[in-house]
Amino acid sequence: MRVAGIANVERRDRGCAGGRARGGASAKGEVGTAKDARRRDAGSTEPSCRRGTGSVATASPATVAGRERGASARRWGAPRAWLLAWLLGACASNQSWRHNAPELPTHAPLVVAPRIERLGPSLLHVRRAGPTTAIGLVLRTGAEIDPPLASFTLELLARGRDRAVEDALGELGGAIEVVWLGDGALLRVEVEASAWREALTIVTAALRSAELTAEDVEALRRERQAALQRRDGDPARRGLHLLQRRLAPRLDALGEARATAGWSIEHVRKAQEQWLRARPALVVVGEVPQAELARAAAGALGEWRGSSAMSAPASELAAARREVLVVPRPGLAQTAIVVGRAIPGDADDLALELASAVVGSALREVLRRDRGDTYSVAVSHAPVRSGGLLAIETQVDAVATGASLRALLSQLKAAQGRFLTGDVLRLLGRAFQVERMLEHQRLEAVVEAVARLHVAGRPDDALAAELRRLGGVRDDDVERALSRWFEPAAMQVVLIGDPEVIRAQVEPLGLGPLKVIDTDL
């Protein structure tokens, strides 16, 4: 009966997550914008030309009807032909106005960012009226944390002994989840608005719970192993994971089956202690009285024994190796291509985001439309202070593996020094401003956005500052990002597909030796 989220639908690809593809569609806008302006003019004049031929309509099926009748009119004689032509012309003119687009707005669209209010050192609030409230408990990760075990432990704590925490939140309409942020983690739940106090108490208490048992560990381990199987069964996800493990291991929250099999309750308790060393922050999004919220948060976090600091992980940027990693999947009709590199934590994220859109658009145009090798191409950047990941993902017809890979790398090369006009960049920036607003419609998305600011150590007004900067992005920033981060020689290539097909097509490209990987790293 659920009407939202229709399952089993076939959806036209928008490209990379978050609609960035479409922002990127503009990449060809460096000619596209001007071209479009010409087309708009042409759109107005084209029908006139057709009318000049004596035909009264502009396109089929009206065109066909018009032309047939026009021919008949010549046989009927001039007066009747004139009358008919006038009538048809009048009808046609009713539609010909459609060639003219409505007038373009003269000003940029309004954009607004969530306003974050800091109610204490560890309490951030965003006001949003509505029937629900979202709560996030944000934890920073330190150097000592092993991401897969740490996320596993958080999931256990979020669930509680024999799912007691999950059940208690379920009574409030909530379903708790763990979101891995690379620089930290987020326990997030959305509940009926009137239940925020109770939910806040339950979530903060869950993290300090000492009640977990070996049975809880075993139950979640089974689920984690099933999740690993689902991930690795999907060629694209398997490839991305391999890239993460090699270049940005702090993004890898799921880990691998062999390590998962070895975790015990003792491992979990130790990981829990590590989490408790740092004082978490609370993010609340909803219509909540602030004085009452501050009191509730103080009650929940006030006696937290941990400090608010945790040793930051060292920034050791992994370099791509001069080899092509191949995960064999004999018989696959498509080869999954994942290409990427590590990105330092101090990179200009916004410029990289815009540059990714430019590259994504170019790749889609070439691989999807021109060559017909793929359905989708996604370019993404996951920032992490100690080293994030830039990844390009696509799945191509197996017989075109080598040619597609060559075209992809060639496009990356072509992106170096690509000239982007101020108008194109302005529109690209606007597209991303609107994208940010779209992303922040949901309460849970706002919680995550604020949590990401917090773990990255960015100021509370960073969301608003981002919007402003997107509106005034500079061409040299984007061009620098293109030349600095999309150099093909610095990219690690991962391929998942039929090994014989891959070998025959990729070895001649001279990208380095092929290294076959079919087990845990």
Cβ–Cβ < 8 Å for 463, 449: yes
Q: How far is the CB of 148 from another protein (least distance, A)?
A: 17
Q: How far is CA 92 from CA 52, 53, 65, 74, 290, in A?
A: 13, 14, 11, 19, 62
Q: Looking at 103-111, 263-271, 411-419, 471-479, which segment touches another protein (CB under 8 A)?
A: 103-111
305 makes contact with another protein (CB under 8 A): no
Does 14 bind another protein (CB under 8 A)? Our answer is yes
Site for another protein in 18-57 (CB under 8 A): 19, 21-23, 25-26, 29, 32-33, 35-37, 39-40, 43
243-282 residues in contact with another protein (CB under 8 A) are 257
**CA-to-CA distance for 263 and 151, rounded, in angstroms?**
12
Integer angstrom CA distances of residue 67 from 46, 97, 355: 17, 20, 49
C-beta pairs of 268-271 under 8 Å, 24+ apart in sequence:
268/149, 268/152, 268/153, 268/156, 268/212, 268/217, 269/212, 271/145, 271/146, 271/149, 271/150, 271/152, 271/153
Residue 107 makes contact with another protein by CB under 8 A:
yes
518 lies in the binding site for another protein (CB under 8 A): no
Helix (H) or strand (E) holding 403: helix 401-415
Q: Which of 17, 48, 54, 64 binds another protein (CB under 8 A)?
A: 64
Question: How far from 130 is each of 57, 199, 359, 476, 489, CA to CA, in Å?
Answer: 51, 17, 39, 42, 50
CA distance 372 to 390: 24
Which lies closer to another protein via its Cβ, residue 4 or residue 314? Answer: 4
Stretch that binds another protein, among 100-108, 119-127, 296-304, 384-392 (CB under 8 A): 100-108
Q: What is the DSSP letter of 281?
A: E
Residues facing 379 on adjacent strands: 392
- In 10 A of CB 217, how many CB atoms? 19
When asked if residue 229 is in the footprint of another protein (CB under 8 A), the reply is yes
- Give the C-alpha separation, 46 to 51, whole Å: 9
**Using rule CB under 8 A, residue 475 touches another protein:** no
**Distance between CA atoms of residues 83 and 424, nearest Å:** 49
Binding mask 154-173 for another protein (x = CB under 8 A): ---------x--xx--xxxx
User: Shortest Cβ distance from residue 86 to another protein (Å)?
Assistant: 18
Residue closer to another protein, measured from CB, 176 or 384: 176
Region from 127-135, 265-273, 304-312, 384-392 binding another protein, contact rule CB under 8 A: 127-135
Nearest distance from C-beta of residue 59 to another protein, angstroms: 4
Q: Which residue in 52, 77, 79, 102 binds another protein (CB under 8 A)?
A: 102
Question: Is there binding between residue 3 and another protein (CB under 8 A)?
Answer: yes
Q: In the complex, what is the shortest distance from the CB of residue 182 to another protein, in angstroms, rounded to a whole number?
A: 25
Of 128 and 250, the one with the shorter C-beta distance to another protein is 128
Question: Does residue 223 touch another protein according to CB under 8 A?
Answer: yes
Question: CB-wise, 439 or 487, nearer to another protein?
Answer: 439
Min separation Cβ 135 and another protein, Å: 13
- What's the rounded Cα separation, in Å, for the pair 309 and 139? 10
Residue window 424-453: x/- pattern of binding to another protein, with contact defined by CB under 8 A? ---x--xx-xxx-xx--xxxx---------
Q: How far is the CB of 108 from another protein (least distance, A)?
A: 8
In whole angstroms, how close is the CB of 337 to another protein at the nearest point? 12
Smallest distance from another protein to CB 327, Å:
13
Residue 136's identity, in one-letter code, is: G
Q: How far is the CB of 55 from another protein (least distance, A)?
A: 14
Of the candidate residues 122, 272, 334, 404, the single one contacting another protein (CB under 8 A): 334
Residues 350-389 touching another protein, rule: CB under 8 A, are: 368-369, 372-376
Q: If DSSP states are collapsed to H, E and C, what string results for 305-374?
A: CCECCCCCCCCCCCCCCCCEEEEECCCCCEEEEEEEEEECCCCCHHHHHHHHHHHHHHHHHHHHHHCCCE
CB within 8 Å of 226: residues ≥ 6 apart: none
Question: Which of 438/489 has CB closer to another protein?
Answer: 438
When asked if residue 519 is in the footprint of another protein (CB under 8 A), the reply is no
Cβ of residue 252: shortest distance to another protein, in angstroms?
Answer: 19
To 10 degrees, the CA torsion angle through 99, 102, 104, 108? Answer: -130
Residue 339 CB burial class (10 angstroms; 0-12, 13-18, ≥19): buried
**Site for another protein (CB under 8 A): which residue of 74, 80, 115, 230?**
230
Of positions 74, 80, 115, 222, contacts another protein by CB under 8 A? 222
